[in-house]
Chain A
Amino acid sequence: MAHLSARADTAYDNAYHHKLRGRLWGALSGTEYDERHDANEPPGFAYSNPFPPRDMRAGDERKLLVAAPEEPLLTHVVRDLQTERELNIGEMPFRVEDMSAFSPDVGEPGTRGTLETGTGLLVRIPPWRCDEYGIDHPGGDTAVFWRPEHTTEPLLNQLEANLDKKHGLFCPEYLPGPSDVEGELFDSYELIKTFAVPVQVTERETRTYVLSKWRFGYTVRDDDHRRHLNLALDCGLGERNSLGFGFVNVVEKQGPFGEPAPEVHGR
């Protein structure tokens, strides 16, 4: 977690994704993680927005969370932010005041809790699966952004498939992935809102992404399920995590024996 202070009176800039992504990839430049930049695979990190997300005055504090399943990756990011303490996220100028580390955990088996997608979830339905879900496809190779009228089934399928892929990349191969086990990742789904944001995906190109914010309720079934949910905390849910989408926080947690969990991070 980076503890930031605003360097000027600034309006909150919702189009921060591209700039922040640039800084994080910059931190990984020249490292063993650099090549992931161009690989068409989940990048292995996820990050929050600078929060709380509202306009700020010079000196106001904000926080930024960066998560990854591989600690050395985070090490490079931390080194970069410590070496160059100015952090300009779009039109928002910050200074990195301090860094701290923690390991979020959904809890031991039996724990109930809620994950919230802090930065919006990006899920695209590939054209070849649209028929299966009864979704009208405009034609061509373009994927369809998930929307509420598509029902939760395709969304959950895509989320699981995506997490499966991340499991294959970042977890020991002898351990079962989300699709290898019985049971769902979540036991409740609350859609908070759907919204569209213009996102600069490259220097020249801006696209409008349709995102959704969710609260997912979970009950940890066993160690495998715990690992899957913790992987979501480390890698983000859904797609384009390198742009900051799909970052999830534990917002509620109740231990298996009724006592409230000692800590909930990220609020």
Chain B
Amino acid sequence: MTEYAYADDSYDPVENRSEIVFCYDAVDANPNGNPLSGSNRPRIDPRTQQAVVTDVRLKRYLRDQLDDDGHGVYVRNVKNEAGNQSERWELLRDRLRGLDPDEWDLGDLDEDDEAALREEIFGEFLDDAADVRYFGATMSMDLQEKYEGFEDYLPDHFTGPVQFSPAKTIHPVTENEEYNSLTSVIATGSDKKQGGFDLDDHRIQYGFIAFHGLVDEHGAADTKLSREDVKRLDTLCWRAIKNQTISRSKVGQEPRLYLRVEYADEGYHLGGLTRDLAVDEDRSDPIENVRNVRDLTVDLTDLLARLERHADRIDRVRVAASNVLAASVDDEVLTAGVDTGQHGIYDALRERLGDGTVDVVDVYDEAGRTKPAAADD
């Protein structure tokens, strides 16, 4: 039992650590603007010229998709529904109000009692706030007066067991300087200017973005993250990029590769899997000429070799690849097969890790089974 476990045996807790590689690309888009720059320019590493996308940006996409799918979300997009965050906060407050401090002898709580106390106050809130289960949240509760002392048994914030690192493109990018954006035209042309923002529009011409994520099985119990929640990530990441990049500056982004490596051994993960990705320069256009995914071949040689070397520590790999993504391993070029569900990447993984280890994600077939109602069944 971890420090902040919950007395709820109705969910299936996460037991395996997972490492995630999630790649998408951006064509004529601003995958992550930087409002501090004054002109919302794409974030670009000044030394390497790689575009940077923060984990906050990705989590925003994921939260919005959870929200659209009907899951409870605590940290909401203000523009969507300002009211719901307070509703969830009120839920938490009401739980606290319903708590009778006299029922709890704080000096004499064993581990099970502590878990029951946490379940009493936070359990329902976490069941109803999917994003907090994944990414955590900071909140402060007023535990003065009659609840004094309870704070020792309750977390003052939730550390998310699912962590993504800021991503970079696997190559330098070129900024599209003179992009005539509809967004900027509309924003500056109407009388509704927002003060302080320069609404010039800046985009990168092409970027292949690689996110690295980790699901920590130890932290999972702190937020009641279930195995079902982790499995949902396999479709959520993909669909979030498909569905949440509709706004003008974000349009032109497509998921290309998703890989979740689920490890067999507790506390073990390889780490840094995205650093094993590279542009196959022999099979790609010169990087400054790349304008879409067809101009690029991603070199997976190091990634697959590394996974193969540690195959005995890998329980399974869940994988989805775009049918227009070309990859290479050593001298072999891997592309999609004739039928949906076929890709050379899947076969290469099977060869190295074994048939039974590789599990191809059928995103849209599977997504329906992770909706809130299905999870409740």
Binding site for B on A (CB under 8 A): 71-72, 74-76, 78-79, 82, 98-101, 103, 105, 108-110, 172, 174-175, 222-223, 255-259, 262
Contacts and interface: CB of A to CB of B under 8 A. Distances in A.
27 contacts: A72-B182, A78-B182, A78-B185, A82-B185, A82-B189, A98-B190, A98-B192, A100-B186, A101-B183, A101-B248, A103-B246, A103-B248, A103-B251, A105-B246, A108-B364, A109-B364, A110-B364, A110-B367, A172-B292, A175-B324, A222-B340, A222-B364, A256-B368, A257-B367, A259-B69, A259-B70, A262-B68
Contacts of B239: 108
Interface of B: 68-70, 180-183, 185-186, 189-190, 192, 239, 242-243, 246-248, 251, 292, 294, 324, 340, 364, 367-368, 371, 373
Contacts of A262: 68
Nearest to B247: A103
B76 to A, nearest CB: 13
Given A79-B185, A101-B182, A255 B68 contact: yes
Nearest to A1: B186
A78 B201 CA distance: 15
Nearest to B184: A75
B342 to A, nearest CB: 14
A75 B324 CA distance: 30
Contacts of B364: 108-110, 222, 256
Given A71-B182, A256-B364, A78 B246 contact: no
B238 to A, nearest CB: 10
A214 to B, nearest CB: 25
Contact of A78 (B70, B186, B242): B186
Contacts of B247: 103
Contacts of A258: 371, 373
Contact of B242 (A71, A99, A108): A108
B55 to A, nearest CB: 24
Given A82-B189, A172-B292, 18 more contacts: A71-B182, A72-B180, A75-B182, A76-B180, A78-B182, A78-B186, A101-B182, A103-B247, A103-B248, A103-B251, A108-B242, A108-B243, A110-B368, A174-B324, A257-B367, A257-B371, A258-B371, A259-B70
Q: Chain A contact residues: over half helix, strand or loop, or mixed?
A: loop
B315 to A, nearest CB: 28
Contacts of A259: 68-70
Contacts of B186: 78, 99-101
A99 B191 CA distance: 10
Nearest to A224: B323
Contact of B181 (A75, A98, A103, A105): A75
Contacts of B294: 172, 174
Given A78-B182, A222-B340, A262-B68, A256 B367 contact: yes
B306 to A, nearest CB: 30
B189 A78 contact: yes
Contacts of B69: 257, 259
Nearest 7 Cβ contacts at the A-B interface = A82-B189, A109-B364, A257-B371, A103-B246, A75-B180, A72-B180, A78-B185
Interface centre among A110, A174, A257 (most CB of B within 10 A): A257
Nearest to A174: B294
A117 B94 CA distance: 50
A257 B248 contact: no
B181 A79 contact: no
B375 to A, nearest CB: 11
B184 to A, nearest CB: 9
B232 to A, nearest CB: 12
A110 B368 CA distance: 9
B182 A223 contact: no
A154 B180 CA distance: 40
Contacts of A74: 182
A188 to B, nearest CB: 21
A167 to B, nearest CB: 15
Interface centre among B247, B364, B373 (most CB of A within 10 A): B364
A99 B371 CA distance: 36
Contacts of A105: 243, 246
B163 to A, nearest CB: 26
A175 B324 CA distance: 8
A71 B189 contact: no
Contacts of A172: 292, 294
A250 B88 CA distance: 32
Contacts of A75: 180-182, 185
A99 B190 CA distance: 7
A101 B251 CA distance: 13
A78 B247 CA distance: 17
A259 B251 CA distance: 24
Contacts of A98: 190, 192
A257 B368 contact: yes
